[in-house]
């Protein structure tokens, strides 16, 4: 039995949105090197839509695949929808992750949220009213 699903291996081997956006509207970084996982996400936002997204990841196969899938899931989506991305959705889109790797999908969710928070912090007027 393989360690990871075909989907995970595909995203790990061919990460979709790897890279940096120099003039990003929101940047989020989560995790720490001590634990072996760091994800950094860069967002470009136009008209309340995530028009572009890139990531950099230090981590295992599932961390890289989770980053790739999470960015793909929010690309082209309204910010309000991106904000709702859950780790479960990331894991499901990857056809599942081993139990002890679920934290990688959590990290991906947190990285996206952190980048969006950064965007709101820079653009308080865009933050949705409670």
Partner 1 sequence: MKIYADNAATTPMSRTAIDAMTRCMEEQYGNPSSLYSLGQEAKEILERAREDVAGVIGAEPREIVFTSGGSEADNQALRSGAALGKRAGKMHIISTAFEHHAVLHTLKALEKEGFEGTLLPVHEDGLVRPEELEAAIRDDTCLVTIMFANNEIGTIQPIRELGAICRRRGVLFHTDAVQAMGHLPIDVNADNVDMLSASAHKFHGPKGVGFLYARKGVRLTNLIEGGAQERSKRAGTENVPAIVGMAAALKEAAANREKNAEHMRVLRDRLIAGLGEIPHAALNGDAVRRLPGNVNFCFEGIEGESLLLLLDDRGICASSGSACTSGSLDPSHVLLAIGRKHDVAHGSLRLTIAEDATEEEIDYMIRNVKEVVEYLRGFSPVWRDLMSGKSQFIL
Binding partner 1 by CB under 8 A: which of 64, 79, 90, 97? Answer: 64
- DSSP letters along 40-91, please? EEEEEEETTEEEEEEEEEES-HHHHHHHHHHHHHHTTSBHHHHTT--HHHHH
DSSP state for residue 23 in the 8-state scheme: T
Q: Is 104 a catalytic residue?
A: yes
DSSP three-state, residue 126: helix
Which residue is catalytic, options 104, 107, 108, 116? 104
Q: Is 35 a catalytic residue?
A: yes
Which residue is catalytic, options 3, 20, 35, 121? 35
Any contact of residue 29 with partner 1 (CB under 8 A)? yes
Contact indicator for 75, 52 with CB cutoff of 8 Å: yes
Closest to partner 1 by CB, 36 or 76: 36
Any contact of residue 125 with partner 1 (CB under 8 A)? no
Contact indicator for 112, 55 with CB cutoff of 8 Å: no
List binders of partner 1 among 32-51 (CB under 8 A).
33-40
Catalytic residues: 35, 104
Residues forming the site for partner 1 (CB under 8 A): 9, 12-13, 15, 18-20, 29, 33-40, 55-61, 63-64, 100-101
């Amino acid at each position: 039995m393989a360690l990871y699903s075909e989907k995970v291996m595909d995203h790990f081997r061919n990460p979709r949105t790897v890279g940096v956006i120099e003039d990003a509207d929101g940047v989020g970084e989560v995790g720490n090197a001590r634990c072996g996982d760091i994800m950094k996400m860069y967002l470009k936002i136009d008209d309340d839509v995530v028009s572009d997204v890139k990531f950099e990841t230090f981590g295992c196969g599932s961390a890289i695949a989770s980053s790739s899938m999470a960015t793909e899931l929010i690309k082209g989506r309204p910010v309000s929808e991106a904000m709702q991305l859950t780790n479960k959705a990331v894991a499901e889109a990857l056809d599942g992750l081993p139990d002890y790797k679920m934290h990688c999908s959590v990290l991906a969710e947190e990285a996206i949220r952190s980048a969006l928070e950064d965007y709101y912090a820079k653009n308080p007027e865009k933050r949705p009213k409670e």
